[in-house]
A = this chain, B = another copy of it.
Amino acid sequence: MSGANHPEQERQPYAPTPRPGGRSARVRADVVTATLAEVAEKGYDGLTVEAVATRSGVHKATLYRRWGGVDGLVADALTASADQPWPLPDTGDLRQDLRRITQEVFSVFTDPDLGPTPTALISAAQRSDAGAAALHAFFTARHRQAAEVAERAVARGELPAGTDGAEVVRAATAPLYYRLFVTGEPLDARTAERAADAAALAARAGLFTSALAAEEAHAKPNTTTPQGN
C-alpha cells in the first residue's frame, strides 16, 4: 500500500543495456511494431508471444528474456506509443477546446480502423502490473499535456486561479472512457459534447481548484478566487 502521489520512478520494461545501439535497438523496434500489428489484428486474447516472435523474426526465447511475456510486450508498446503527442486545440475558449479533445477521443476509439489498436492496448495493459504502470504513465503524460487548455483559460481569466488543469481534462474525458472500458455502453458524439460542456461548467464554478493552489493564488494580488459554495 503506497500512498505516494509522486510516481517519479518510471522504469522501462528492460534495463538500459550496456549495448544500446545497434542490433538491440533494431530488435526492439521490430518487436514493438509486430506487437502493435498483432494486437490490432487479433486483439489481446489472440496475442501470443509466438506470433510476435514469428512476425518480428525474433526468437521466442529472446522475447521472454527481454520482455518477460505478453505483459511486457504490451507495456513496452504502450510506452513507445506514449511518445507520440497528439494535437492540442487552441480555440480561445475552454469549452470549445474541451469539446475538441473529447471529440478527438470519440473519433479515435470509434473509428473501425484506428480504434481497435488503442482499445486492445488499454484493455491489455490493465492485466499486469507492468502494463498498469505503463498505462498510468501514458495517461499522466496525456493529462499533463492536455492540461494546457485549462491553464490558458486561467491565464485568460476564464477560470479561477489555482484550477487543476489535469483534473478538468479528466472530468471531460472520464465519461467517454467509462463507457468504453467499464460499462461497455455505446459512445456517441453527443455524449462527448456533453462531457466537455459539463467539465467546462464545473471548472468555471471553481470546483477543480485545489486548496493548496488556491492559497498560492491568494498570495498573488491578481485574482480573487471565491470558493464556489
- CB proximity to B under 8 Å, residues A171-189: 171, 173-175, 177-179, 181-186
A123 contacts chain B at the CB level, 8 A cutoff:
yes
Is the CB–CB distance between B174 and A194 below 8 Å? no
Quote the shortest CB–CB distance from A21 to chain B (angstroms). Answer: 33
Contact with B along A193-229 (1 / 0, CB 8 A): 0110111011001011000000000000000000000
Residues of chain A at the chain B interface (Cβ within 8 Å): 1, 3, 5, 44-45, 112, 122-123, 126-128, 132-133, 135-136, 139-140, 143, 167, 170-171, 173-175, 177-179, 181-186, 194-195, 197-199, 201-202, 205, 207-208
* Bound-state Cα–Cα, A186 to B178, Å: 16
Q: How far is the CA of A177 from the CA of B179 in the complex (A)?
A: 10
CA–CA, A195 and B186, complex, Å: 22
Could you say which residues of chain B place their CB within 8 Å of the CB of A126?
123, 126, 181-182
Set B170, B186, B198: member contacting A3, Cβ < 8 A: B186
Asked whether A201 lies within 8 Å of B194 as measured between CB atoms, the reply is no
**Complex Cα gap A186–B139 (Å):** 13
Q: Tell me, in angstroms, the Cα distance from A171 to B184 when the chains sit together.
A: 15
Copies of the chain in the assembly: 2
A-B contact pairs, 27 of them (CB 8 A): A1-B112, A45-B127, A45-B128, A122-B182, A123-B126, A123-B127, A126-B182, A132-B184, A135-B182, A135-B183, A136-B183, A167-B194, A170-B178, A171-B195, A171-B198, A174-B175, A174-B178, A177-B182, A181-B182, A182-B182, A194-B202, A194-B207, A194-B208, A197-B207, A198-B202, A201-B202, A201-B207
Q: Which residue of B lies closest to A2 (CB)?
A: B186
Complex CA–CA separation, A96 to B3 (angstroms): 28
The 9 closest A-B pairs by CB, nearest first: A198-B202, A174-B178, A139-B183, A136-B184, A174-B174, A174-B175, A177-B182, A132-B184, A177-B178
